[in-house]
A = this chain, B = another copy of it.
Amino acid sequence: MGKLIIAGIGPGDRDSMTIAVEKALNAADIIVGYTVYADLVRADYPEKESFTTPMTKETERCQIALDLARQGKNVVLICSGDSGIYGMAALVYELRGETDTPEVEILPGITAACSGGALLGAPLTHDFAVISLSDRLTPWEKIEARLKAAAEADLSIVLYNPASKSRPDYLSRACDILLQKLPADRPCGVAHAIGREGENCQLMTLRGLRDFPADMFCTIFVGNSMTKVINGKLITPRGYPNV
């Protein structure tokens, strides 16, 4: 019987992987993943077997990873960022059900809240909420209620999946909701293509964010009431004395 490791590879550059994930990839018989992310890793392992599926084929991808492990392969199923946060770990456990076979291990990775935050400065020094704007699997009304609640409770907010080709206006709609509760000059930041070619980030106000042309490679940060810009960095102080 093989083993299935679900590995978060972080934003995409090799140095942002954990040592544990690198060891797992080195030892893998086969690497499974969503085409775009698998391609980031496969280039380093031209000799290894791989199996990729497009987006919307998550269930098939996880089922095949489990089947390959049952057939005796050591399988690494890769996720971008973390393996748990909006990742494939839950789906694998759901598909495996009430059994211990095949063996499953979850290796965490650097999620975009951490890698994007590091690029922009330090926006998440205090309590925060992580909210995906994708309504493929969640009703929009629920997303809207979560945005309102996070703004009212003065949480910093990280938005994952802020836009896609079929949802070009979702970030604007989210900002309109936030602007009902938060000031238009609230400091915000966008991290784009973290750890990949074309990586960049920029600061703006919440009003400016409303009209920002985000794409699916953006991670968005909305500050809390304490967040400020220091020397071009987005900073949420913790409140240590004597600063």
Could you tell me which A residues sit within 8 Å of B by CB distance?
8, 10, 14-20, 22-23, 58-59, 82-87, 89-91, 93-100, 106-111, 113-115, 117-119, 121-132, 137-138, 142-143, 145-146, 148-150, 152-155, 230-231, 233, 235-243
Contacts and interface: CB of A to CB of B under 8 A. Distances in A.
A91 B150 contact: no
B59 A238 contact: no
Contacts of A89: 118, 121-122, 125
Given A90-B237, A93-B122, A97-B231, 17 more contacts: A8-B114, A14-B19, A16-B18, A83-B122, A84-B123, A85-B113, A85-B117, A85-B128, A91-B125, A93-B230, A93-B233, A96-B231, A99-B231, A107-B118, A124-B130, A137-B238, A142-B154
B20 A19 contact: no
A171 to B, nearest CB: 16
Nearest to A104: B233
B83 A118 contact: yes
B114 A129 contact: no
B84 A125 contact: yes
Contacts of A117: 82, 84-85, 106, 108
Contacts of A97: 230-231
A15 B16 contact: no
A99 B232 CA distance: 10
B127 A130 contact: yes
Contact of A15 (B18, B129, B235): B18
